[in-house]
Chain A
Amino acid sequence: MKNQKENWDLIIRPHTKWYDLRLSEILNYKDLLFLFVKRDFVSVYKQTILGPAWFFIQPIITAITFTVIFGNLANISTDGLPPVLFYLCGITLWNYLSDTLIKTADTFTANASIFGKVYFPRMIVPLSVVLSNLIKFGVQFLLFIAVWVYYLITQTTVHPNLTLILVPFLILLMGFLGLSFGIIISSMTTKYRDLKFLIAFGIQLMMYATPIVYPLSIVPQKYKWLILANPVTSIIETFKYAFLGVGEFNWLYLLYSLCFTCVLFFLGLVIFHKVEKSFMDTV
């Protein structure tokens, strides 16, 4: 009897060890993860006429706007590449990060009503965002590929190379980077909402601190380290280098981004886990 008593499946305590993240639990809820992905994907374009076509419209309009404003009006160099292709390349990958970040950043506040009623590993929600945005990214990526193939055939300025095999890894990094920033912000906004106001223009600022509307090559040497300190820079640059043959590809920079992402993700997990247990009282 005594032994049996110790045989509990679950112990609810006020404090748990910071490393006890209960990640294995997520596996038990993998069906929920995929159902959330499906829900997000299906529900967004219900009752719209164009439906999933909106996936294409958004990046195209942005690329055209950038072409007009930064390319034609401001005359910012695109390293000799067709501007639409250059911008689309950066936007496609950048959107994956920013969409993921924005959506995961309100995990707690947006889902308070569900979280207040049922327990499931809260991490399922931001993970589902990463996956549904990955699908969205996939669709936009196809658009980019189509434009890219068109220019590859019609122009000689585009030089893809073997770095292409790194692309899946770059996408993964972007996803995790967005997720990590997102869950940290969402954890920090449950009690004090101040950070929420920062996100909208923070994302804007971060985009301009990343070589998306300009190539890294035109950044003055003096400020280059600042842009390179941004972990997204080398991911975007490598991505551009792989498809277009311009930009800077450097293993060291990429390693920096990888380490940054890993540390941030781990930090995010710990903070998120700490907050998820009691956020219902403060949200």
Chain B
Amino acid sequence: MGNEVLKVENISKQYRLGQFGTGTMSHDVNRWWHKIRGKEDPYLKIGDVNDRSISGGSEYVWSLKDINFDVKQGEVLGIIGKNGAGKSTLLKILSQVTTPTTGEVKVKGRIAALLEVGTGFHPDLSGRENIFLNGAILGMSKAEIKLKLDEIIEFSGVAKYIDTPVKRYSSGMMVRLGFAIAAHLEPEILIVDEVLAVGDAEFQKKCMGKMKEVSGEGRTVLFVSHNMPSIRALCSSVMILKNGKLISIGETNEMISDYLSSETKSIKNEEGVIPDNLSLYNTGEAKFTQARILTLNQTPTTELFFKQNFILEFTIDVFKQITDVNISIFIVNAFGENILMAVENEMYKPTSFDKGTHTYSITFSDHLMPGEYSIGLAISYFHTGNSIDHVESFYNFRILKETETKDMEYPWATVHGYTKPHTKWSKK
């Protein structure tokens, strides 16, 4: 059992919605009046859960509610959740940018937060001057920065421009320099908020390497990201936040698949009716209304056996005659990437539709590896590429590890790849 270096107890954070103005004053006065009489803040009792989509009655909202967790030394904890789940608020509290409304956080060692790269860069100062300034803002001493200056400049890859004012930098260079400084911080606890999502591929690789190195040195890292592959690559455990509440905390892979399946679990109906808000383009020309997976004997399902053939069925409503269009069907993996694309016309030629409702059923043979998938649908004009309707990820389904006849099972814990080609092996 390692040492706890961070202990979060009953943290909650309340925010007031809307504008501050004359109306705010009366609440302040009321709050103050309760306080001097030794009573509890009247506005702490109210407040809605944090859910953007539902407009609540209260002006107050709990951005975080009763969060409890511990982090042990050397642990790399990933924090995932939808936008507005409270991730940033939690990081803000941990990095002391704001205080919690209730609760306590206990910290052992120096804590440094990287909520943004290049905070406090002054556009008129040179790269070198800004290294010192930004380093000091992040809590490094001048001597410490001097010691690491060459290393930072080298890591950033902007050595040539180091004496040029940063306002002449490209945004990529600015980010590189910012991250280079932050990467050379040596706090016991490092809090990182999605800063890896910037820069080109080469630099991102470098950042990931650096992050791994940091955690390898036995330092504790809290890492917020929407990018599941980086969470998977870096974190030893993961915490899921939803509407300001801690849903679960545990082993990385388990949490990620829990999270991803809960994300779309809301569409439970095996009818596969596509809700309106999933359509990305409302051109009024056509709209996908339904999509689902069926077994070969026409039963709707969300679970398929390994190597099982299946049918993808979808319906499109066409509101007026459209020509020169193309429908593409995607199989989408758990990270939202399209791993398969199928088109109606295998010669890749445009098609046209009459007004009315069209239902297609597409038979797939055993191409998918075990894992979580969903369906993506797109209709666009063939030659211009303009979208008519697009559903990015809908109807989660799962390929199990065992086969339908139970005669075999995919043997390993890790599944490599998403698709399974039909190959013929011959020995020479």
Residues on A close to B: CB < 8 A? 4-5, 7-14, 28-29, 31-32, 34-36, 38-39, 42-43, 46-47, 113-120, 191-192, 277-278, 280-282
Question: Apart from A34-B142, A42-B129, A117-B119, what 17 extra A-B contacts exist at CB < 8 Å?
Answer: A13-B104, A14-B100, A29-B136, A31-B136, A32-B136, A32-B137, A35-B142, A42-B125, A46-B124, A47-B124, A116-B92, A191-B24, A191-B28, A277-B98, A277-B99, A281-B16, A282-B20
Q: Kindly identify, within residues 55 to 114 of chain B, every residue whose CB is under 8 Å from any CB belonging to chain A.
A: 92-111, 113
B99 and A13: CB pair below 8 A? yes
B105 and A12: CB pair below 8 A? yes
Name the contact of A31 in the complex, choosing from B16, B129, B141 (C-beta under 8 A).
B141
How many angstroms between the C-alpha atoms of A13 and B4 in the bound complex? 18
In the assembled complex, B277 has its CB within 8 A of some CB on chain A: no
- CB-defined contacts of A282 to chain B, threshold 8 Å: 20
A7 and B108: CB pair below 8 A? yes
Name the contact of B133 in the complex, choosing from A12, A35, A46, A281 (C-beta under 8 A).
A35
How many angstroms between the C-alpha atoms of A35 and B181 in the bound complex? 16
- CB-defined contacts of A14 to chain B, threshold 8 Å: 99-103
Write the chain B residue with the least CB distance to A119. B96
* Distance from B124 Cβ to chain A, minimum over Cβ atoms (Å): 4
Q: Kindly identify, within residues 301 to 356 of chain B, every residue whose CB is under 8 Å from any CB belonging to chain A.
A: none
A35 and B132: CB pair below 8 A? yes
A-B contact pairs, 15 of them (CB 8 A): A7-B108, A9-B109, A11-B104, A14-B103, A46-B124, A46-B165, A118-B115, A119-B96, A119-B97, A120-B137, A191-B24, A191-B28, A192-B20, A277-B99, A281-B16
A281 and B15: CB pair below 8 A? yes
* Distance from A124 Cβ to chain B, minimum over Cβ atoms (Å): 9
A10 and B107: CB pair below 8 A? yes
Known: A47-B124, A282-B20. A8 touches B98 (CB 8 A): no
Known: A118-B137, A191-B24. A280 touches B108 (CB 8 A): no
- CB-defined contacts of B24 to chain A, threshold 8 Å: 191-192
In the assembled complex, B391 has its CB within 8 A of some CB on chain A: no
B124 and A278: CB pair below 8 A? no
Write the chain B residue with the least CB distance to A280. B98
**Interface residue range, chain B:** 35 or more
Q: Kindly identify, within residues 256 to 270 of chain B, every residue whose CB is under 8 Å from any CB belonging to chain A.
A: none
In the assembled complex, B116 has its CB within 8 A of some CB on chain A: yes
How many angstroms between the C-alpha atoms of A42 and B130 in the bound complex? 12
How many angstroms between the C-alpha atoms of A277 and B99 in the bound complex? 6
In the assembled complex, B139 has its CB within 8 A of some CB on chain A: yes
Name the contact of A10 in the complex, choosing from B25, B99, B106, B129 (C-beta under 8 A).
B106
* Distance from A132 Cβ to chain B, minimum over Cβ atoms (Å): 13
Write the chain A residue with the least CB distance to B143. A31
A39 and B97: CB pair below 8 A? no
In the assembled complex, B384 has its CB within 8 A of some CB on chain A: no
Q: Which of A10, A36, A46, A47 has the most CB of B within 10 A?
A: A10
B97 and A35: CB pair below 8 A? no
* Distance from A42 Cβ to chain B, minimum over Cβ atoms (Å): 7
* Distance from B66 Cβ to chain A, minimum over Cβ atoms (Å): 14
Known: A29-B136, A191-B20. A118 touches B108 (CB 8 A): no
Write the chain A residue with the least CB distance to B104. A13
Known: A43-B125, A118-B95, A119-B95. A9 touches B139 (CB 8 A): no
How many angstroms between the C-alpha atoms of A47 and B115 in the bound complex? 31
How many angstroms between the C-alpha atoms of A118 and B24 in the bound complex? 28
Name the contact of B107 in the complex, choosing from A8, A31, A277 (C-beta under 8 A).
A8
- CB-defined contacts of B138 to chain A, threshold 8 Å: 118
Known: A10-B107, A35-B132, A119-B96. A4 touches B3 (CB 8 A): yes
* Distance from A25 Cβ to chain B, minimum over Cβ atoms (Å): 10
B124 and A117: CB pair below 8 A? no
In the assembled complex, B42 has its CB within 8 A of some CB on chain A: no
How many angstroms between the C-alpha atoms of A9 and B103 in the bound complex? 17
Name the contact of B97 in the complex, choosing from A13, A29, A36, A115 (C-beta under 8 A).
A115
* Distance from A274 Cβ to chain B, minimum over Cβ atoms (Å): 10
- CB-defined contacts of A5 to chain B, threshold 8 Å: 4
Q: Kindly identify, within residues 127 to 185 of chain B, every residue whose CB is under 8 Å from any CB belonging to chain A.
A: 129, 132-133, 136-142, 165
Known: A14-B102, A35-B136, A39-B125. A118 touches B107 (CB 8 A): no
A280 and B120: CB pair below 8 A? no
B96 and A12: CB pair below 8 A? yes
- CB-defined contacts of B129 to chain A, threshold 8 Å: 38-39, 42
In the assembled complex, B122 has its CB within 8 A of some CB on chain A: yes
- CB-defined contacts of B92 to chain A, threshold 8 Å: 116, 280
- CB-defined contacts of A11 to chain B, threshold 8 Å: 104-107
Known: A12-B93, A277-B99. A29 touches B124 (CB 8 A): no
- CB-defined contacts of B113 to chain A, threshold 8 Å: 117-119
B124 and A114: CB pair below 8 A? no
- CB-defined contacts of B101 to chain A, threshold 8 Å: 14
- CB-defined contacts of B104 to chain A, threshold 8 Å: 11-13
How many angstroms between the C-alpha atoms of A118 and B102 in the bound complex? 21
How many angstroms between the C-alpha atoms of A168 and B16 in the bound complex? 47
- CB-defined contacts of A47 to chain B, threshold 8 Å: 124
B115 and A117: CB pair below 8 A? yes
B107 and A9: CB pair below 8 A? yes
* Distance from A191 Cβ to chain B, minimum over Cβ atoms (Å): 6
* Distance from B369 Cβ to chain A, minimum over Cβ atoms (Å): 41
Known: A31-B136, A119-B96. A10 touches B141 (CB 8 A): no
* Distance from A1 Cβ to chain B, minimum over Cβ atoms (Å): 9
B106 and A29: CB pair below 8 A? no
- CB-defined contacts of A28 to chain B, threshold 8 Å: 139
B122 and A39: CB pair below 8 A? yes
Name the contact of A8 in the complex, choosing from B95, B108, B120 (C-beta under 8 A).
B108
How many angstroms between the C-alpha atoms of A47 and B105 in the bound complex? 46
Known: A31-B141, A117-B115, A117-B116. A12 touches B136 (CB 8 A): no
B122 and A120: CB pair below 8 A? no
How many angstroms between the C-alpha atoms of A277 and B98 in the bound complex? 6
- CB-defined contacts of B119 to chain A, threshold 8 Å: 113-114, 117-118
- CB-defined contacts of A117 to chain B, threshold 8 Å: 97, 113, 115-116, 119
